[in-house]
Chain A
Amino acid sequence: MRLGCEFLLPSRAIASAHDYVQHDRERLENLYTHVRRNPRTPLYVHPNQFVLGATFEFIGLPDDLTCYVIGRSSLGRTGLVIATATAVAPGYSGCITLEIVNVGEVPLPLFSGMRIAQLVIHKTEGTASYTGRFSCQIGPEPPTLYKDLEMRIWRDPLSFHGAR
């Protein structure tokens, strides 16, 4: 899989916390700086920096296949971790978001179009169709934890219990 052109860089200083309980979509999106790179200009990832990227390839998995995203070992040896949430559900279509972290000691350049990850594909027993919120994404997207039902417990405990 090749690295896509778009990146989301979390901003450290403009919010007190990445409050995915209280923040809605707009506020969460504002916590990231959107950056676009063409194949000629690199994006430098500094030690301990976290960047959301995406694969350039747009994949469409059938309902009976699942896959795992695994970083290339060559890049792993430079200290680059490609993905942490590595499972891709059957029936998913879209680009795969990569949670990139440099755990090495020196900054690393990332070029759009470079080979960065690989997919390990498995056949599933039975079929399932992904209908989640990240379907058909064409670049990295910020988390949407605010949509989780259980977040209501911590966001507005009174109304949650009242609703029950």
Chain B
Amino acid sequence: MCALKSPLTGVSELPLSRRLTAEYLADLLERTHSLEDLAKRLALVEDYVSEEVPLLINKLGKAAASIRTAVLEQYARYLRTQKASDLTLLRSFDRCIQDLFLDLRLPERARSDRVPGVLTRLVAQKAGELKPGAGVILRPQWRYNYKIYRDDVQTRYQLLFASIFPSRASIDEWLNGLPDPLYIISFPLIEQRSIHMHALLGHELGHLMAREYKPPQLETERFERDLRRDRLRHLRRSRPDMHRLSDDEVLSTDSELVRGMAARRAALKEYASDAAAVYLIGLPALLATAQLAASRHLRQSREAEGGTYPTWGNRMFFMLEAADEAGWLDALRSVASYDRRTKFAAKAISAHIGAIRAWVGSTPQWHVTDRWIAQGHRAAEALLPSVRTFIASRFASCVAAPSETVAGLPVLLDRLSRSLPPDNLTQSDLTFKPAKLEQIFLASWAHRLLVNVPTFDQSDLSLRTRDTAERLRRLTFKAIENVDFHHQFYALLHETEVASGSADQTGAREAPERKTSKTTRHNASSHRKANR
């Protein structure tokens, strides 16, 4: 028997020898203890941005305890049966623990000093519009990338635990209490303070819709057939040493074929998510993507990675089309009856969109240089009309009309010009009608373009411009905080009202509580009157 690799460095596929089993088992149990301890300690941290974070960490710790029990049961079974397969099953526990350790880092970073906590709840609210009951954990990452993890937490752990937990019921019990679905979204830590770029979170939320898009089967088959034929021809020509192999054997080891197919899938997802972002967040999603795309360093690094993403130019072109179809450009043109500032703002946005159009038109590299990935992208582009139709139909009922969002612009821009947060849609300060997230983003971007804070080239900002940009950033954050707080506070008041109502019905007679509830009811009713 050759030496077994340390479980900490990697898992060998060789069957475990009896001699090493005890050591391996002890190590496995030790790591479940470590995971549980670590999760317990992390769950005690008090500055997480949302309640889901410590809840998920706690669940991971409990999973470690369950795995420990399962490991011991599995080992006991092996001792009874002496079957090598029972022993080898311990490997799946090993992999599971490694995955859980890696997963622990996802919620662990969602702390209030790193994540704009106020944004988390509003993003979760947006996710809830797409998937009822959805929760979101927003977390930073060092790498420059906005990313949504592939599966929601529930699906991920049902797949992960399927082989090690005894029944589906026990997995469901473990997952009980977590929002269903719960998504984890990462944003680049460097953009922590940059509220305007956070409009890109709309793209990540768009992935929830993009996953539901299924390209026509016939088109998929035709593309795969063509790609296989082209690859085969290419390989037969370039690799004469393969002449003895059959077609299937030649293609079975071909990574370019796989990449070409993946490129088409990835491109469709990205395009669909971009369109969804335009519907969900509006023009700020387009403007933020343009700023990202204009950053030469980021663009080159992304395209040099050899990834399967479509080029920024093509994505921008598609987003512009989606914005037009969603009615955003018409809404911008319809501000003729609004005040002067709003008209200027609308013109500034239109001019900026014109600049984006010009940039898209002048982009020299229309497709990535890799021939096979470009073939996948071209196949995806043939399906773009159907992607647009799909996204438009899905968002027909669940998002506000662009004209409604633009209608809030005069009041919010007026507030921004007076150095007030763009959160309140009413004229009088005595009443508070909270703005929506997309309205805040749009007003903030519009003001940014009005006061000429550069978006494409930020290399040479004057002190005054930096100050203006910083002020705008703060006001936007405060606006989001106000709106979020408003929702939270009234949810709490409502809960108190319901609780005190049920206490009245059951005849609870504790004087202080009754007094509190009456006061709260009075406050709630007076707030409601004020809101009217």
> With A36-B112, A93-B420 in contact, do A113 and B485 touch (Cβ < 8 Å)?
yes
Closest to A95 in B: B478
Chain B residues positioned under 8 Å from A89 (CB to CB): none
Chain A residues positioned under 8 Å from B420 (CB to CB): 58, 60, 93
Contact code string B228-262 (vs A, CB < 8 Å = 1, else 0)? 00000000000000000000000000000000000
Query: Which of A36, A136, A137 is in CB contact (< 8 Å) with B117?
Result: A36
Chain A residues positioned under 8 Å from B421 (CB to CB): 58, 138
- Give Cα A95–Cα B421 distance, bound, in whole angstroms: 11
Given A95-B478, A135-B471, 10 more pairs with CB closer than 8 A: A5-B118, A34-B112, A35-B46, A35-B112, A36-B112, A41-B46, A58-B420, A93-B418, A138-B474, A138-B478
Residues of B within 8 A of A (CB): 46-47, 49, 112-113, 117-118, 418-421, 470-471, 474-475, 477-478, 481-482, 485, 488-489, 492
Q: Once the chains bind, are A138 and B47 in contact (CB under 8 Å)?
A: no
Query: Which of B113, B471, B474, B485 is in CB contact (< 8 Å) with A5?
Result: B485
Q: Once the chains bind, are A113 and B489 in contact (CB under 8 Å)?
A: yes
Q: Once the chains bind, are B113 and A34 in contact (CB under 8 Å)?
A: yes
Chain A residues positioned under 8 Å from B117 (CB to CB): 36
Q: Once the chains bind, are B419 and A136 in contact (CB under 8 Å)?
A: yes
Q: Once the chains bind, are A138 and B477 in contact (CB under 8 Å)?
A: yes
Chain B residues positioned under 8 Å from A143 (CB to CB): none
Q: Once the chains bind, are B47 and A36 in contact (CB under 8 Å)?
A: yes
- Give Cα A60–Cα B416 distance, bound, in whole angstroms: 11
Query: Which of A35, A39, A58, A93 is in CB contact (< 8 Å) with B488?
Result: A39
Residue in B117, B420, B475, B481 with the greatest tally of chain A CB atoms within 10 Å:
B481
Instruction: Check if A38 is an interface residue, CB within 8 A of chain B.
Output: yes
- Give Cα A137–Cα B474 distance, bound, in whole angstroms: 7
- Give Cα A58–Cα B418 distance, bound, in whole angstroms: 12
- Give Cα A36–Cα B470 distance, bound, in whole angstroms: 21
16 contacts between A and B (CB under 8 A): A5-B118, A5-B481, A34-B113, A35-B47, A36-B112, A39-B485, A39-B492, A58-B421, A60-B419, A60-B420, A93-B418, A93-B420, A112-B485, A113-B485, A138-B421, A138-B481
- Give the size range of A's interface with the partner: 10 to 19
Chain A residues positioned under 8 Å from B474 (CB to CB): 136-138
- Give Cα A138–Cα B484 distance, bound, in whole angstroms: 15
- Give Cα A150–Cα B118 distance, bound, in whole angstroms: 39
Closest to A137 in B: B474
For the complex of A and B, list the 9 residue pairs with the smallest distance between their C-beta atoms, beginning with the closest. A36-B112, A138-B478, A93-B419, A138-B474, A136-B471, A34-B113, A60-B420, A136-B474, A58-B478
Closest to A36 in B: B112
Least Cβ–Cβ distance between B480 and chain A, in angstroms = 10
- Give Cα A137–Cα B471 distance, bound, in whole angstroms: 8
Least Cβ–Cβ distance between B116 and chain A, in angstroms = 10
- Give Cα A66–Cα B290 distance, bound, in whole angstroms: 43
Contact code string A126-139 (vs B, CB < 8 Å = 1, else 0)? 00000000011110
Chain B residues positioned under 8 Å from A95 (CB to CB): 478
Chain A residues positioned under 8 Å from B481 (CB to CB): 5, 138
Which residues in chain A, 83-127, are within 8 Å of chain B measured between CB atoms?
A: 93, 95, 112-113
> With A36-B112, A93-B419 in contact, do A56 and B492 touch (Cβ < 8 Å)?
no
Least Cβ–Cβ distance between B405 and chain A, in angstroms = 23
Chain B residues positioned under 8 Å from A93 (CB to CB): 418-420
Chain A residues positioned under 8 Å from B477 (CB to CB): 138
Least Cβ–Cβ distance between B530 and chain A, in angstroms = 14
Closest to A57 in B: B482
Least Cβ–Cβ distance between A70 and chain B, in angstroms = 21
- Give Cα A58–Cα B112 distance, bound, in whole angstroms: 21
Closest to B488 in A: A39
Least Cβ–Cβ distance between A135 and chain B, in angstroms = 8
- Give Cα A34–Cα B418 distance, bound, in whole angstroms: 29
Q: Once the chains bind, are B419 and A39 in contact (CB under 8 Å)?
A: no
- Give Cα A95–Cα B118 distance, bound, in whole angstroms: 16
Which residues in chain A, 31-47, are within 8 Å of chain B measured between CB atoms?
A: 34-36, 38-41
Residue in B418, B420, B478 with the greatest tally of chain A CB atoms within 10 Å:
B478
- Give Cα A56–Cα B474 distance, bound, in whole angstroms: 14
Least Cβ–Cβ distance between A111 and chain B, in angstroms = 10
Least Cβ–Cβ distance between A136 and chain B, in angstroms = 5
Residue in A38, A56, A112 with the greatest tally of chain B CB atoms within 10 Å:
A38
Closest to B475 in A: A136
Residue in B112, B117, B471 with the greatest tally of chain A CB atoms within 10 Å:
B112
Q: Once the chains bind, are A58 and B485 in contact (CB under 8 Å)?
A: no
Closest to A41 in B: B46
Closest to B523 in A: A115
Least Cβ–Cβ distance between A28 and chain B, in angstroms = 16
Chain B residues positioned under 8 Å from A41 (CB to CB): 46
Closest to B476 in A: A138
- Give Cα A39–Cα B47 distance, bound, in whole angstroms: 13
Query: Which of A5, A60, A135 is in CB contact (< 8 Å) with B418?
Result: A60
Residue in B419, B470, B477 with the greatest tally of chain A CB atoms within 10 Å:
B419
- Give Cα A35–Cα B47 distance, bound, in whole angstroms: 7
- Give Cα A84–Cα B482 distance, bound, in whole angstroms: 26
Least Cβ–Cβ distance between A17 and chain B, in angstroms = 24
Contact code string A40-72 (vs B, CB < 8 Å = 1, else 0)? 110000000000000010101000000000000
Q: Once the chains bind, are B482 and A58 in contact (CB under 8 Å)?
A: yes
- Give Cα A5–Cα B186 distance, bound, in whole angstroms: 23
- Give Cα A60–Cα B419 distance, bound, in whole angstroms: 7
Query: Which of A56, A60, A137 is in CB contact (< 8 Å) with B485?
Result: A56
Q: Once the chains bind, are A39 and B489 in contact (CB under 8 Å)?
A: yes
Chain A residues positioned under 8 Å from B118 (CB to CB): 5
Chain B residues positioned under 8 Å from A138 (CB to CB): 421, 474-475, 477-478, 481
